[in-house]
Structure 1
Amino acid sequence: MVAIADLSAHHGSEASARRLRRRRFAQRRLQAYGILAIGFAALALVALLSTVVGNAWQAMSESYITLDVPLDDPELVSGDTVSVSRFNYDGLVKDVLKAEFPSASGRTQRRELYDLVSGGAQFELREALLRDRSLAGQTVPVRLLASDVTDLYLKGVYGKLDSRPREGALTIQPIEDGDTVRVSSTADDFSAALVQAKAALLDRAAFERNQARLQNRGVEVFGRQAHETSDPDERTRLQTQIDTRAAERDRLLAVAEDLEARARRGGGAEALDETAPSVLLRVGDGWLKMVEVGDSGGIAEPIVPVAPVEALPADAWGFYIHDQPEAARKVSDRQIVWIETLKDRGRVETVFNTRFFTAGDSREPELAGIWGAAVGSFWTMLVTFVLAFPIGVLAAIYLEEFAPKNRLTDFVEVNINNLAAVPSIVFGLLGLAVFLGFFGVPRSSPLAGGIVLALMTLPTIIIASRASIRAVPPSIRDAALALGASRLQTSFHHVFPLAMPGILTGTIIGMAQALGETAPLIMIGMVAFIVDVPTGITDSATVLPVQVFRWSDFPERAFEARTAAAICVLLLFLVLMNALAVFLRKRFERRW
């Protein structure tokens, strides 16, 4: 009784209460760490998906420009199919654009004008005429695919024109040189543009000062080296470097000081170059680009010609500022004006981008699609499954049901486990050296890729299959053998069907891993530019992960959205495959 009383007193003591509080606090702390880790992982996943999906959204639409195309050329009217196919549709599209904007002159302006539509527009025009030969001899409205530059501007990637309020009456007078006009307003309508131009001067001054600091850093480094060296020739060379960099530093500082002085000076006029915000005026159907701006006007050059006017009311003209300088975007001011003009004429439309899901690869981002890569992934996964599944399952059945337990089987098991951890690029090197170099398997084909991925997937399938077979109760085997079944019948008629859910789950997970692999396929040449959709396992092809890799390396900005969209498609396939694995496990799972 005394011992029980002592024990009760011990557990009810203050020290016991403190220990209990510490254990509970440690438990709550561990739970908080777990919740924090899960929350951090969830935030990372949300950030990843929001970034990818946000970028991919731009690839879900494409823009078209509708132009009236005259198809009255004698070669189109009376020619046969061959001559119609070989007609110069590119020249026809260019002629239509020149007719739409006749003021575009010179090589540079016309190159910008032609860049409004895609290089593939001529092929769409040819296909439309070949489908319906009755169009020949007519002038018909034809939807031409817009270029990536036009499409990105319409989606707001390069910013938008910001309409500014007007209060004064506008006057436009030609200048003697004939290439520019003088613009003036009865109010200080252009003061906002002048403020932004001066702010751009300060930004340029800051850049010049930063460059000057870099030059001064070079002066200091070369000065230390000149002080430490004892070689006269080397000291002379370093002194030359010091003088050159010091002169460049002084020049940059002088430029920065001049820019800052201009920015602080009130009023006046400032020249607008390609590093300054773009200022555009719209008068009727005409457009002007300001090249010099003051508080109440300045000098402008016509983009779409404007007739001289006197005291045009404020509601009869438009004043626009594009904050992003022309040098910082791929679309020029002239192209912006032409696009806005086409929009006002109702010739621009944006539709769902079915081409992305039905077309093959292309150097032009507006023509590129994932269908070729998706079909290549299908053929590659088919070869992988046909090779890896039967070999992996049979190997697992043999090792679990028939193989003797000795050093050889232990050696095989250890190597199977090690192969599951081998970097995937090693399998690519194996495929390059053996299958392509020795056996002569067609390069850059689903057959070569499927064989390499099958080797990479085999360890995963074998390990998962062995675990599923091992999970079948021994009583199943004993009962089958007791009824007279052979070991082969027991394995394939009883054990294998019961282990099939786990085997399928492991196989699907291994196939999902293979679907996302890139490195081994790059090694065997599946990174090549493939336009045609493969029709078999020996045709040249690429796969979705490699397509993502290639597009991410292209300089065109429109490929960013298509890269993100291809990633979304790949993630969707991976999610579906893993969901199928979970469904099969839940549907056919047996509890023993």
Structure 2
Amino acid sequence: MYGMLAIFIALASLVILFADIVSKGHTGFVKTTITLDVELDSELMYLDDPTDADQRSMADFNAPILAALQKHFPDVDSAAEKRELLRMVGNYGANTISQRLKNNPELLNTTQTIEFLAHDQVSVYVKHADNPSYSIKLSERQQGWVDELMEKGIIDTGFNDVLFSRGDSREPANAGILGAIVGSLLTMLVTLAISFPVGIAAAVYLEEFAPQNKITDFIEVNINNLAAVPSIIFGLLGLAVFISLFGMPRSVPLVGGLVLALMTVPTIIISSRAAIKSVPPSIREAAEGIGASKMQVVLHHVIPLAMPGMLTGAIIGMAQALGETAPLLLIGMVAFIVDVPEGFLDSATVLPVQIYLWASSSEQGFVELASAGILVLLTFMISMNALAIWLRKRLERRW
């Protein structure tokens, strides 16, 4: 009865946790857009040549957006009302027009249908107007404008492709996790390239070749202890050795991968040694009986039979490293990174740190994005654990 009660409490807690995350995060996968017929008037924007960078820097790209909005609200004439009306379009609306004219100068003095990302406050109102737990920061006049534009189909919602196509931003509507996903991928590649061969080689040596003496016992005790050391200690080690001593740059996937490799190696060693121990002694004796050397026995028989367990341990260790935040904070991967990293020495952040940054923000839009990021991270981790289970079932041998 006690066992069943414990399992029930654990499952109930898990369901409550997932329900809370999904309820807060599902709207993070939804974006709010405003589609307007914008007249790209050169006189209105004070722009003659869209290819001229100096002219673009001085042009007023907000003017055609405001003019397009005023077509729907012709009674808006005061400066204060115009500012409120223009504020419904996100801060990057002007940049949208600037980039479009830069790429297509022939669009100048034409009317184009352009989809803009709505301001975060408009998005919160559209998605949570009926939820009293959300604070609506729009004025009553702005709420009336939004309601009217929604009735006309000008304001609409859809899948938030921005979340998976852009890096971080100061404005929630324009923020994405692509940079964090790429940073996590590069960091995990470094971690895997170092921890997997080192962990397996150490496990094979300790289990098959190392003599039983005090030095070996000392090494084994320390490996077991390192597996239980708090992850932040590895961050301090990386800060002291890789950055302070070797002068490596902060906030790059290479250093992050090295730190996580130090943390993952003990886990891989322990799981690999357990897999090697599970190989029956009769396999070794049969190979030695037909004249195989010690190295041939290990390479041709023991390691292939133990590889499913080794892979399972490595995948679980990588999944643990993927969710780590504390050691990466200490080596500077908490920086605000807008650009998507292209290499192992480019400034980057990782998905858990990106979630931490968004969760610590007071803006409601970032809270939604943090919950959506948690769902993405959980998807990756569950997939990696499912892969480990599948490999174990697919490749394991029963003796």
TM-score clears 0.5: yes
| SS of structure 1 residue aligned to 2:245 | coil
| SS of structure 1 residue aligned to 2:392 | helix
| SS of structure 1 residue aligned to 2:163 | helix
| SS of structure 2 residue aligned to 1:362 | coil
Q: Residue 475 of structure 1: CA displacement?
A: 1.6
Q: Residue 115 of structure 1: CA displacement?
A: 1.9
Asked if structure 2 preserves the Cα contact closer than 8 Å seen for 1:461 and 1:510, the reply is yes
Instruction: State the match for 2:34 in structure 1.
Output: 65
Residue 562 in structure 1 maps to residue 369 in structure 2: yes
Q: Structure 1 stretches of 5 or more lacking a match? A: 1-31, 161-323
Residue 159 in structure 1 maps to residue 130 in structure 2: yes
Show CA shifts across 1:338-389 (max 9, x none): 1122223332121211111111111100001111100000000000000000
How many percent identity over aligned positions? 52
- Could you tell me how far apart the structure 1 residues matched to 2:63 and 2:256 are? 42
- Could you tell me how far apart the structure 2 residues matched to 1:354 and 1:329 are? 24
Residue 79 in structure 1 maps to residue 49 in structure 2: yes
| Range 361-370 or range 66-75, more displaced | 66-75
- Could you tell me how far apart the structure 2 residues matched to 1:352 and 1:473 are? 54
| Range 39-48 or range 341-350, more displaced | 341-350
Instruction: State the match for 2:6 in structure 1.
Output: 37
- Amino acid paired to 2:62: D
- Could you tell me how far apart the structure 2 residues matched to 1:111 and 1:439 are? 52
- Deviating beyond 6 angstroms after TM superposition, the runs of 4 or more aligned structure 1 residues are none
Aligned counterpart for 2:342 among listed residues 535, 540, 543: 535
| SS of structure 2 residue aligned to 1:116 | coil
- Could you tell me how far apart the structure 2 residues matched to 1:108 and 1:523 are? 46
Q: Residue 455 of structure 1: CA displacement?
A: 0.2
Aligned counterpart for 1:474 among listed residues 236, 259, 281: 281
| Range 87-96 or range 362-371, more displaced | 87-96
Instruction: State the match for 1:276 in structure 2.
Output: none
- Could you tell me how far apart the structure 1 residues matched to 2:41 and 2:81 are? 27
- Could you tell me how far apart the structure 1 residues matched to 2:133 and 2:83 are? 20
- Could you tell me how far apart the structure 2 residues matched to 1:325 and 1:54 are? 12
Aligned counterpart for 2:167 among listed residues 354, 360, 364: 360
- Could you tell me how far apart the structure 1 residues matched to 2:393 and 2:268 are? 19
Aligned counterpart for 1:464 among listed residues 271, 277, 282: 271
| SS of structure 1 residue aligned to 2:37 | strand
Aligned counterpart for 1:127 among listed residues 99, 118, 134: 99
| SS of structure 2 residue aligned to 1:144 | strand
Mark the structure with the bigger radius of gyration. Answer: 1
Asked if structure 2 preserves the Cα contact closer than 8 Å seen for 1:381 and 1:450, the reply is yes
Aligned counterpart for 2:215 among listed residues 400, 405, 408: 408
Instruction: State the match for 1:113 in structure 2.
Output: 85
After superposition, residues 10-409 of structure 1 pair within 5 angstroms as 32-73=1-42, 78-83=48-53, 85-86=56-57, 87-97=59-69, 100-101=72-73, 103-104=75-76, 108-155=80-127, 157-159=128-130, 329-409=136-216
Q: Residue 52 of structure 1: CA displacement?
A: 0.8
Measured on the aligned residues, the alpha-carbon RMSD in Å equals 2.1
Asked if structure 1 preserves the Cα contact closer than 8 Å seen for 2:276 and 2:302, the reply is yes
Asked if structure 2 preserves the Cα contact closer than 8 Å seen for 1:77 and 1:137, the reply is no
Q: Residue 441 of structure 1: CA displacement?
A: 1.5
| SS of structure 2 residue aligned to 1:361 | coil
- Inter-CA distance 556–107: structure 2 relative to 1 (3 Å threshold): farther
| SS of structure 2 residue aligned to 1:590 | coil
Aligned counterpart for 1:446 among listed residues 253, 262, 272: 253
Residue 518 in structure 1 maps to residue 325 in structure 2: yes
| SS of structure 2 residue aligned to 1:81 | coil
Asked if structure 2 preserves the Cα contact closer than 8 Å seen for 1:63 and 1:146, the reply is yes
Show CA shifts across 1:276-308 (max 9, x none): xxxxxxxxxxxxxxxxxxxxxxxxxxxxxxxxx
Show CA shifts across 1:521-556 (max 9, x none): 001000100000011111110011001100001111
Q: Residue 85 of structure 1: CA displacement?
A: 4.5
Asked if structure 1 preserves the Cα contact closer than 8 Å seen for 2:47 and 2:56, the reply is no
- Inter-CA distance 487–460: structure 2 relative to 1 (3 Å threshold): same
Asked if structure 2 preserves the Cα contact closer than 8 Å seen for 1:444 and 1:540, the reply is yes
- Could you tell me how far apart the structure 1 residues matched to 2:257 and 2:364 are? 32
| SS of structure 1 residue aligned to 2:379 | helix
| Range 370-379 or range 490-499, more displaced | 490-499
Paired positions, count: 396
Asked if structure 1 preserves the Cα contact closer than 8 Å seen for 2:35 and 2:154, the reply is yes
- Could you tell me how far apart the structure 1 residues matched to 2:302 and 2:168 are? 47
- Inter-CA distance 366–325: structure 2 relative to 1 (3 Å threshold): closer
Q: Structure 2 stretches of 5 or more lacking a match? A: none
Asked if structure 2 preserves the Cα contact closer than 8 Å seen for 1:76 and 1:137, the reply is no
- Inter-CA distance 566–80: structure 2 relative to 1 (3 Å threshold): closer
- Amino acid paired to 2:372: A
| Range 439-448 or range 77-86, more displaced | 77-86
- Amino acid paired to 2:8: G
| SS of structure 1 residue aligned to 2:52 | helix
Asked if structure 2 preserves the Cα contact closer than 8 Å seen for 1:76 and 1:136, the reply is no
- Could you tell me how far apart the structure 1 residues matched to 2:140 and 2:186 are? 47
Asked if structure 2 preserves the Cα contact closer than 8 Å seen for 1:125 and 1:144, the reply is no
Q: What TM-score, normalized to structure 2?
A: 0.94
Q: Tell me which protein shows more strand as a share of its residues.
A: 1
| SS of structure 2 residue aligned to 1:154 | helix
- Could you tell me how far apart the structure 2 residues matched to 1:506 and 1:117 are? 49
Residue 581 in structure 1 maps to residue 377 in structure 2: no
Show CA shifts across 1:100-134 (max 9, x none): 54544666544432220101112222233334433
